[in-house]
A and B are shown apart, each in its own frame.
Chain A
Amino acid sequence: MRVLVVEDEKRLAENIARGLREGAGYAVDNAPDGEEATYMLRATTYDLVVLDLMLPRRSGHEVLNELRKRGRKDPVLVLSARDERESIVSLLDSGADDYVTKPFDLGELLARAKALIRRGKGQATPVLKISDLELNASRRQVRRGGKEVALTPMEYRVLEYLAHRQGTVVSKTELLEHLYDYNWEKFSNVIEVYVSGLRRKIDDRAKEKLIHTLRGHGYILRADDNGKKR
């Protein structure tokens, strides 16, 4: 999952980013002002945008309005220093999905972030099930047939993204975009390495294969009920 943190206070942005990386394993980008945020949002689709309102050059309101005007559905979590009802109502009306007021609790921020991402992918609970594969996004645990599977952080991130998009084809480019932030160099063959690692840990010992490769298109995570080709 890839998150954009729009916050001009450098230290606060650092802390939020660190919390999201360490606590949820997300890739995090930071935009220090409204214009930068708009620019980055035009270039990339994010799984979540954490948006401060009082920003230099362009207010958070404007960033949000522009995003929604372009029909983008990226979930937006607003960081607000005001808790006046009016401004919250107007925020939600202009397309924000949730908000926390400063000073917020980092744990709460993370929980809300996870919930928003989940909802954004159409999942109601943090536990995702594909056949006998169980992924608990809040604990970052994976079980196959009731047995816990130990994954590396990157493998988990790949599986979490695929699980959130289960039943749909996810291209390598999409995976790259959503698993890495700007600070990382992106090589598409890295994805292949992680996917093969996942296959080994999840599918190898099971009868039913869940991770499928559609050559030239990407990957899909789904129950192999009608025995389709891999």
Chain B
Amino acid sequence: MSLHEDRITQRAGDGVAHALLKRVNTARASLVVRIAVGVVVLDLALTALLVALGVFVARTELMSSFDNSLQSKAISLRALVRYDEDATGDLIFDSSGLPSSADASHPDAFAIYLSNGQLFAQSPGWSGLPARTRYLNGGFVRYFASGAPFRGLILRDIEILDREDGVAPAKITVVYAASMLGLRHRVFLVGLYLSAAGLAVLGVVAWLTIGSVRRSVGPLRALAGQADRINAKNWVFEAPKSARETPELAPLTTALETVVARLHDSFANQRQFTSDLAHELKTHVAIIKSSLQVLHRQPRSAEEYRAGVGDLLGDCERLESVVERMLRLARVEQLAEERRGPDAPPADVLTTCEAAVARVESLANSKGVTIELQGEQNGEVSAEADDLELVWLNLLENAVRHSSAGKRVVIRLSDKPGNIEVKVEDSGSGIAAEDLARIFERFRRGSGDGTTAAQGFGLGLAICKAIVERYGGSIELTSAVGQGTQVRVLLPRTSENVESATKLPESDSGHSVTLAQAPAEPAR
């Protein structure tokens, strides 16, 4: 069925659909109703066509036999006109041999005219052809008489059958007409039977259609049922076998499965984040509260109070920093979801590195760690300078925290084709293999060395990853316990040269964590 036809049937079916809709009690025409109505309307049209055709054919056939009988009856009349036995040459009409009428209530009418135009013989009540007679081809006429349609045949100037010696056969004109009521009735019956048969077929077809459509919608319902069961607590989506095996539904099934899986991941991720966040905040609040309670439980010396307040300030600063980092991460991740947003103005990488080094210097000094900035190469990348600075700051802080006094932390810039590479290296405690795999996850703590409580992890690397990836870069971490850690960041250089842009690292390739694990050895 072409689209065009489909539309027409649908429109034609709307009225019927409306009536059906009420019974089905759906707000909108369901697929089953639409298809059923479409089929029924189409079938109805076909039935109507069939009936019309049947009636036409039947009428033509009946008409032809009617005409034949009319003709033979008219011709038979000429045998009834005979010469009188008296040999006067007069003609007589033998009414005993008249053909019988098919319709008794509307008997056949006839008239015989002689060649001089004189009415010679006629049926009872014959008063000539009515004024409104229609003359048709082949000598046929149509007229109404006594409330019935009549069809007649005029045979002009035909010779009578009787012969008289020496006389040219007399010529007569015969008019013979019969009622068409019988014919009409028969045609009507033909139409009636055909219609009845058509409607019966229509009913069966409609019933079968609804049944089969319902059955074929079954997998769809099953699929919807399964999909309906998905909610925040239940992420099990097993497409029903029937839906999976229906070719039309397979793409929908696959799409649903993909969407559910993706949503699940994202939801689980969000939930994990919220839960981690709650844990982190509660822990920090617990620290502050317990610090206060320790101070409050018993009278303290001024010295003890001073020390306690100092500790509390430190506790508050850490809470503040957690909140700040968290908000930063949320912002960066949101921007990443909005697909980079408006392109950031070019930022000078070296400048941001210098700023980060300056900010981490006091921490480094207090731990006796030296920081070295290497690389003259200068280049710009499309990124917010603040974001870049935060990346270097986080990386440097981690490096410094995991280094012992006298060690060196190096941040090195170098040019790579299309990219600017920044490496942060330390020769500190390194990261245990079991932590390395999940190092970029939020709130993941490294084992640390117990005393520093590994404060640097948590959010720092997750923020770095989010920022770097947001600007189309990549981040990679290599570490060996006891030897140190190396973080390598690649950022696409800002350039008018489009060719270099094709060499950008794929932003969605994610981070790669490479392991260069020294022989297994506890981190402590």
Measuring CB to CB, which residues of chain A are less than 8 angstroms from any residue of chain B?
A: 8-12, 15-16, 18-19, 22-23, 32-33, 35-36, 54, 56-57, 81-82, 101-107
- Residue of A with least CB distance to B275: A82
Q: Which residues of B contact A81 (CB under 8 A)?
A: 278-279, 282-283
Q: Would A106 and B285 count as touching, CB distance under 8 A?
A: no
Main secondary structure of the interface of B (DSSP, over half): helix
Contact B447 A56 (CB under 8 A): yes
Binds A, one of B147-155, B175-183, B287-295: B287-295
Instruction: Note all chain B residues with C-beta closer than 8 A to A16.
Output: 290
- Option from A12, A19, A36, A54 in Cβ contact (under 8 Å) with B450: A36
Chain B min CB distance to A24 (Å)? 11
Chain A residue at smallest Cβ distance from B450? A32
Residue of B nearest to A33 (CB): B447
CB A14 to nearest CB in B, in angstroms, measures 8
Partner pick for B286 among A8, A18, A104, CB 8 A cutoff: A104
Within the complex, the shortest CB–CB distance from B150 to chain A, in Å, comes to: 97
How far does the Cβ of A10 sit from chain B's closest Cβ, in whole Å?
Answer: 4
Residue of A nearest to B314 (CB): A11
Shortest B263–chain A CB gap in Å is: 22
B288-324 vs A: 1/0 string, CB under 8 Å? 1111011001100000000000010011000000000
Q: Which residues of B contact A11 (CB under 8 A)?
A: 287, 291, 311, 314-315
Chain A residue numbers with a CB within 8 Å of B451 are 10, 32
Q: Chain B contacts of A105 at CB under 8 A?
A: 289, 293
Please pick, from A9, A10, A15, A35, the residue contacting B294 in the complex, using a CB distance under 8 A: A15
With a cutoff of 8 Å between Cβ atoms, the chain A residues found around residue B432 in the complex are 57
Could you show 10 A-B contacts with beta carbons less than 8 Å apart?
Answer: A10-B453, A11-B315, A19-B290, A32-B453, A56-B445, A81-B278, A102-B286, A103-B285, A103-B290, A104-B286
Residues of B within 8 A of A36 (CB): 450, 524
Q: What is the bound-complex CA distance between A54 and B286, given in angstroms?
A: 14
**In the complex, which of the residues B275, B297, B454 contacts A106, with contact meaning CB atoms closer than 8 Å?**
B297
Tell me how far the C-beta of A108 lies from the nearest C-beta in chain B, rounded to whole angstroms.
10
B453 touches A103 (CB 8 A): no
B289 contacts which chain A residues (CB < 8 A)?
103-106
Q: Which 3 A-B pairs have the closest CB atoms?
A: A106-B293, A15-B290, A103-B286
How far apart are the CA atoms of A35 and B524 in the complex, in Å? 10
Bound-state Cα–Cα, A19 to B295, Å: 9
By CB atoms of chain A within 10 A, which of B283, B288, B297 has the most? B283
**Of listed B289, B293, B434, residue having the most chain A CB within 10 A:** B293
> Size class of B's contact patch?
20 to 34
Given known pairs A8-B445, A12-B286, A15-B290, the reply for A33 and B450 (CB within 8 Å) is yes
Would A107 and B283 be within 8 Å (CB), given that A9-B453, A32-B453 are in contact? no
Please pick, from A19, A54, A57, A106, the residue contacting B447 in the complex, using a CB distance under 8 A. A57
What 1/0 mask marks residues of chain B from 354 to 377 whose CB sits below 8 Å from any chain A CB?
000000000000000000000000
14 further contact pairs, Cβ within 8 A, besides A32-B450, A33-B447:
A9-B283, A9-B287, A11-B287, A15-B291, A15-B293, A18-B294, A19-B297, A33-B450, A54-B279, A102-B282, A103-B282, A103-B288, A105-B289, A105-B293
With beta carbons under 8 angstroms apart, the residue of B286, B287, B434 that contacts A57 is B434
- On whether the beta carbons of A107 and B450 are closer than 8 Å, the reply is no
Whether a CB of chain A sits under 8 angstroms from the CB of B418 is no
Measured between alpha carbons, how far is A54 from B443 in the docked complex, in Å?
10
A56 and B290 alpha carbons, distance in the complex (Å): 22
Q: Give the residues in chain B near A12, CB-CB below 8 Å.
A: 283, 286-287, 290
Interface residues of B (CB under 8 A from A): 275, 278-279, 282-283, 285-291, 293-294, 297-298, 311, 314-315, 432, 434-435, 445-448, 450-454, 522-524
List residues of chain A with CB within 8 A of the CB of B453.
Answer: 8-10, 32
Chain A residues whose CB sits within 8 angstroms of the CB of B291 once the complex forms = 11, 15
Which chain A residues lie closer than 8 Å to B524 at the CB level? 36
Task: List the B side residues contacting A106 at CB < 8 Å.
Answer: 289-290, 293-294, 297
Residues of B within 8 A of A102 (CB): 279, 282-283, 285-286
Nearest chain-A residue to B278 (Cβ)? A81
Q: Which residues of B contact A35 (CB under 8 A)?
A: 522
Docked complex Cα distance between A107 and B311 (Å): 20
Give the distance to chain B from A23, nearest Cβ to Cβ, in Å.
6
Q: How far is the CA of A186 from the CA of B293 in the complex (A)?
A: 31
Instruction: Give the docked Cα–Cα distance between A158 and B314 (Å).
Output: 37
B311 / chain A contacts, CB cutoff of 8 Å: 11
Name the residue of chain B whose CB is nearest to the CB of A53: B279
Which residues of B are found within 8 Å of A57, using beta-carbon distances?
A: 432, 434, 447, 523
Q: How far is the CA of A106 from the CA of B279 in the complex (A)?
A: 18
**Is B298 within 8 A of A22, CB to CB?**
yes
CB distance from A16 to the nearest CB of B (A): 7
Residues of chain B contacted by A101 (CB below 8 angstroms): 282
Residue of chain A at shortest CB distance from B285 = A103
Question: Counting chain A CB atoms within 10 Å of each CB, which of B289, B446, B522 scores highest?
Answer: B289
A102 to chain B, nearest CB (A): 4
Q: Which residues of A contact B454 (CB under 8 A)?
A: 8, 56
B233 to chain A: closest CB distance in Å? 12
Chain A residues with CB under 8 A of B285? 102-103
Q: With A and B bound together, what is the CA distance between A36 and B450 in angstroms?
A: 9
Residues of A within 8 A of B523 (CB): 57
Q: How far is the CB of A86 from chain B (nearest CB, A)?
A: 12
Within the complex, the shortest CB–CB distance from A4 to chain B, in Å, comes to: 14
CB distance from A195 to the nearest CB of B (A): 28
Given A56-B445, A56-B454, A103-B282, A15 contacting B287 (CB threshold 8 A): yes
Among candidates B286, B297, B315, B446, residue contacting A22 with C-beta atoms closer than 8 Å: B297
Q: Which of A16, A22, A54 has the most CB of B within 10 A?
A: A54
CB neighbours (8 Å) of B279 from chain A are: 54, 81-82, 102
